[in-house]
Amino acid sequence: MVETYGLTHIALAVRDIERSFVFYRDVLGVVAVYRRPNFLQMQTPGSHDVIVLEQRSESVGQPGGVMHFGFRLHDAGDIDAAAEAVEAAGGTIVEQGEFSPNEPFLLCRDPDGYEVEIWYEPPTPVDPPARG
């Protein structure tokens, strides 16, 4: 077995890198960490999560086996703020509810049509220690 930080990135084909960057920045607070023509790597502050944007119009929004990707909230009470941020950033809410009591979720689409899940899950036995 090799030790990793777990699943750390996803690469998305997008029509407009800046538009997609603004969406994820405004919804999740990502920051750009590496750029080159037609390519942007963004990272979620405080984690190892990376979203790579590649400008490739021919495959935009096509799932290619990826049904959605998700971001886990620290606090269940933040779900409404997440929904507001998605809509303010140009996304579309597809569904919002609870998987079970006190485990809210929302599914949304980013400006290119990718489905993103934002949800809360109580701590599990394999979660890393809480940040101080």
64 domain residue, yes or no: yes
Q: Output the pTM of the full model.
A: 0.85
Better pLDDT: 115 or 8: 115
Residue numbers of the domain that contains 59: 9-120
Structural domain tally of the chain? 1
Is the CB of residue 118 less than 8 Å from the CB of residue 106?
A: yes
131 domain residue, yes or no: no
103 domain residue, yes or no: yes
130 domain residue, yes or no: no
Give the pLDDT of residue 132. 60
Give the pLDDT of residue 3. 73
CATH code: domain of residue 89: 3.10.180.10
